[in-house]
Amino acid sequence: MWLLNLAVAYRETILGEFTDEMSQWLQQVASGMKQPVPPISLSASATETACCRYGPCGPAVVLFMQLWQKVAWGINEGQAHPEDSLVIRVQTYEEVLNPSASRRWRQALLDAGYRSEEPYLQRVWEDAGKVGESVGGHHARFLAAAMCGELAQAHERDLGFFLAMMPWVRAGHWPGGWEDATNRLKVF
């Protein structure tokens, strides 16, 4: 399942859709022929550095952070979206300012490596957090870091709670919480 989460993150953030190159890469990773690094060109040196800094999925983390720098954070906050029926739409910042009030959100943060003692996850959270904050402030900081934390662990864990929010981020909305009672994302 980690492979599917990695593919979804890659598709949603880099390509917007699957390509023949992506399909071929997925088959090679699934058969054990390739490492879980997406087929985007990074130099051999950059790939090695990314793996040393962020673990086996480091190149994917680096590419993901580069893409976060291009996010048009919050440009459609409060605006309608075709998939509004799948989420809880909130109308004020106060409704999304405490996402960690949700047990599910708090657990997903920990699963994504928040406050981890693993050095590579600490580096992911620090560096991705800086990228997110430069794009959209404190709340973007946590989303970028959590998504990258999940991606960094894709080789060993089936995570995707935050990565699944990327289509909302790319559409200019702010995924800002989770309602445990209905098991639904809150989006501003």
In the chain (188 residues long), the average pLDDT of successive 10-residue segments reads: 49 48 54 53 80 90 86 88 92 74 92 96 97 91 94 86 89 90 92
Does an H or E element contain 184, and which? strand 184-187
Confidence (pLDDT) at 21: 57
Confidence (pLDDT) at 18: 43
| 109 CB-near residues (< 8 Å, 6+ apart) | 100, 142, 146
Confidence (pLDDT) at 29: 52
- Identify the CA nearest to 131 among candidates 122, 120, 142, 115: 142
Confidence (pLDDT) at 4: 47
pTM of the predicted model as reported, rounded to 2 decimal places: 0.79
Confidence (pLDDT) at 114: 96
- Tokens 């047990």 belong to residue: 103
What's the CA angle centered on 185, arms 181 and 188, to 5 degrees?
125
Confidence (pLDDT) at 63: 84
What's the CA angle centered on 114, arms 150 and 148, to 5 degrees?
30
Does an H or E element contain 130, and which? helix 119-152
Q: What is the CA radius of gyration of the chain?
A: 16
Other CB atoms within a 10 A radius of the CB of residue 111 amount to 19
